Amino acid sequence: MDDSAPGQAAATGVVPVAPVLAAPGADGTRAGWVVLASPDPAASPGRAPSARRAVLPVTLAALVVAAVVAVGGLLVSQRIAEEQAVHAVAELTDDLAVSVVQPALTNAMATNPAQARQALDPLVRHWLSDGEMVRVKVWTTGGTVLYSDEPRLIGQTFPLDDGSRAALLHPRTEADITDLSLPENRYERGEGKLLEVYRPVWTPDGTSLLFETYFRYDTVSQRSQQLWRGFAGVTLSSLLALLLLLGTGGWLLAARARRAGARNEELMRRALDASDAERRRIAATLHDGVVQQLAAASFIAAGQAQRAAGPGGDPKLASDLDSVASAVRDGIAGLRSLLVDIYPPSLHTSGLASALHDLADAAARGAGQVPDVAADLDAGTADSVPEQEQEAMFRIAQEAVRNAVRHGHARHLTLRLTAGNGTPALEIADDGDGFDAADLAGEGTDGHFGLRLMAEAARHGGGWLGLRSAPGAGTVVRYEAAAR
């Protein structure tokens, strides 16, 4: 079956010494071995990946994203809530300026603090009664305090800051944290952190004045917290709904994946059963049909050859008939070997050890036979190997023996099955021609059909497959079952 695979050969002698394996390196290889197949650590042989394992990374990623969004959303919502609270205080000041203060102003008030106090005091005292607003001031454009609920400030002049001048020059409402270190704010220093809001107002003749209110910042913080709790509730409830949706979708996906995996395993089992039944049917048909017919033809040809070789016979015809009978017997032997390839009955009925013994016997008796064959097979270890790996081990041994016989010209062949390192290991060693394994490591198995077959069988079984060889030093093929 292998036209191009190099000879499989190994240690000399009838029972060669088991090779000593170096410890696995960082890349998972062993010194001196060419690795043809390695087990996949993330999956068991023949088993589909766990749906939970597939869904778990997505779930973790969703939780991380949700946490980031939650933290970011809460921080942003807190900032927005604070801005909204400040905006609400600014709007209150706007409303007081437009609807209360400005209508109460007269032209005379712009230069008469007494009139301004008389008109504004009753209004301002009412505003201050709830404790949120702590101070009200009305300034002239020159920086003189025209009115304040703190009488000691009235008539005093202080330089206007840049914000106040800008609000007068380009009429708008501004809000800032109060700088309590300024002299005009010395009477507010016992009130804690304050927010001042200022905007221009005008007397009937168009004279500009600056209306300024001071609020406790606790008021802003309380409103900010109220707004923030509303934002946070919406954000967190939305995230929880999203996570619930993702969790439900992930659970459904996992359930569907489990069902699909179970269906795939069932289909694979049925396909393997069907393939096994088909191979058994073909083997039975060949054995009961063609093989029996060829055996009968062989007996007939041999009988006619004996008759032709008798007295008065035809020696040339007898020789020809002997040749025909020999060719038919060789064909029968080839067919029987093919039957074992198609469906090794002992593997399915008597187990791996029996099938390997039959393989060793066939190597000793078949065409191109090996003179010296030894089989060191631990029956207990063979029985402990799962059925899938038994099939893989037999196919690897079958291909290694075939290559040793056909290409390696081996004279000594050993099959060994042990569990010395805790896991079953199969080793096929011969003393044939060998080849340069280093070249194989660089070229790969593309040009070696037999090695590809062994590698595929090893991957199907889920174990580790290595090869060691050198020109004139034989070849060792070793398969180690997957750890469990």
- Residue pLDDT, tens place only, 374-404: 888 888 888 888 877 888 888 888 888 888 8
Which structure tokens are listed for 448?
């070696």
Query: What pTM was computed for the model?
Result: 0.44
Give burial (CB, 10 Å; 0-12/13-18/19+) of 463: buried
In the numeric block, the tokens 């699909």 are attached to 260
Measured distance CA(202)–CA(200) in Å, rounded: 7
358-369 pLDDT, tens digit per residue, is: 788 777 766 556
Q: Determine the pLDDT at residue 28.
A: 41
Region of poorest pLDDT, from 91-100, 289-298, 468-477: 289-298
The pLDDT value given to residue 353: 81
Asked whether the beta carbons of 144 and 160 are under 8 A apart, the reply is no
Tokens 């005292």 -> residue: 125
Q: What are phi and psi of 212, to 5 degrees?
A: -135, 135
Backbone angles phi, psi at 374, to 5 degrees: -125, 140
Residue-level pLDDT at 29: 43
Pairwise CA distance, residues 287 & 265, whole Å: 32
**Does pLDDT of 339 surpass 90?**
no
Q: What residues contact residue 373 under an 8 Å CB cut-off, 6+ apart?
A: 360, 361, 363, 364, 412, 413, 414, 415
Q: Give burial (CB, 10 Å; 0-12/13-18/19+) of 44.
A: middle
In degrees and rounded to multiples of 5, residue 210 shows phi and psi of -110, 120
Question: Binning pLDDT at 50, 70 and 90, where does residue 345 land?
Answer: low
Q: According to the model, what pLDDT value does residue 183 have? A: 92
Nearest-angstrom CA–CA distance, 404 and 422: 28
* Residue in 1, 2, 5 with CA at minimum distance from that of residue 36: 5
pLDDT for residue 131: 77
Helix, strand, or coil (residue 355):
helix
Mean pLDDT (the chain) is 77
With DSSP H G I counted as helix, E B as strand and the rest as coil, what are the percentages for the chain, rounded to 5?
A: 60, 15, 30
For the purposes of burial, counting CB atoms within 10 Å of the CB of 465, is it exposed (0-12), middle (13-18) or buried (19 or more)? buried
pLDDT score, position 217: 82
The domain limits of the chain are: 54-226
pLDDT (tens digit, 9 = 90+) per residue, 296-317?
Answer: 888 888 888 788 777 877 788 8
Amino acid of residue 75 = L
pLDDT for position 441: 52
Alpha carbon distance 390, 359 (integer Å): 14
Q: Which of 198, 210, 157 shows the shortest CA–CA distance to 174?
A: 198
- Least confident stretch, 1-10, 48-57, 77-86, 257-266: 1-10
The hierarchical CATH code for the domain 54-226 is 3.30.450.20
CB 67 within 8 A of CB 235: no
Q: Quick one: pLDDT band at residue 218, thresholds 50, 70, 90?
A: confident
- Please name the residue ranges forming H helices in 97-216: 102-104, 113-128, 162-169
**H or E element at residue 302:** helix 292-309
Name beta bridge partners: 375: 415
Quick one: pLDDT at residue 147? Answer: 92
**The residue to which tokens 């002049």 are assigned:** 157
Distance from C-alpha of 207 to C-alpha of 148, rounded to nearest angstrom: 18
Over residues 157-202, the pLDDT tens digits come to 999 988 889 988 999 998 888 899 999 999 988 888 898 999 999 9
Confidence band, pLDDT 50/70/90 cuts, at residue 54: low
Q: Which segment, 148-162, 209-223, 341-355, 428-442, is predicted with the most confidence on average? A: 148-162
Dihedral pair phi/psi, residue 83, rounded to 5°:
-65, -40
The answer to whether the beta carbons of residues 460 and 392 sit under 8 Å apart is: yes
Whether 4 shows a pLDDT value over 50: the answer reads no
Q: Over 50: is that where the pLDDT of 134 sits?
A: yes
CB of 454 closer than 8 Å to CB of 409: no
**What's at 362, amino acid-wise?**
A
